[in-house]
Amino acid sequence: MSDTHLILLPTDGSPTADAAARFAESIARAEDGEVLVLSVAERAIVGGIEDQQITAKLLEFQRDLAEREAAGIRATGVSATPLVVTADSPHEAILRVAEEQHVSIIVMGTHGRSALARAMLGSVADRVVRHASVPVVLVPLVAETR
């Protein structure tokens, strides 16, 4: 990919991920870019051992999710490709895909946790921001007003 901007859009199917998808679409349209829709299926570890049947079901669910999101983006006239990976850690998978695919930017939703909740629970978005080698745009869910 020479001059085409590749935008990485991690998605979990949440409303904030949908808001990020709309933002990624607009960037891709303005920059003649493409969107790589990433969905991460976390390995199902039960008693310290991976339950491959559960992992396979999670992978199937995430594949459907990524394909639906990519199809929705393509319906707006923007190029989009789904990608599903299995990993132990979503943030590490996002960072790895960003490096491997040489993306220009990562656009992802943020659930807007408080500082205390982030400190206690961590946040995939926070970890991606801290460790990414490319710009990261966090898109919050904005309540509709009438």
110 within some domain: yes
Judge whether 4 and 126 are in contact, CB under 8 Å.
Answer: no
pLDDT of residue 145: 40
1 within some domain: no
How far from 138 is each of 44, 61, 81, CA to CA, in Å?
27, 24, 20
132 within some domain: yes
pLDDT tens-digit profile, the chain (146 residues): 446 799 999 998 888 899 999 999 999 999 999 999 999 998 888 788 888 888 899 899 999 999 999 999 999 999 999 999 999 889 999 999 999 999 999 999 886 555 544 444 458 888 898 999 999 999 987 644 43
pLDDT of residue 117: 46
Judge whether 3 and 101 are in contact, CB under 8 Å.
Answer: no
- What is the number of structural domains in the chain? 1
How far from 39 is each of 96, 116, 120, CA to CA, in Å?
13, 27, 24
Its domain, for residue 67, covers 6-140
Judge whether 28 and 5 are in contact, CB under 8 Å.
Answer: yes
pLDDT of residue 3: 63
What CATH number is associated with residue 104? Answer: 3.40.50.620
Burial 5-33 (b: 16+ CB within 10 A, else e): bbbbbbbeeeebbbbbbebbbebbeeeeb
145 within some domain: no
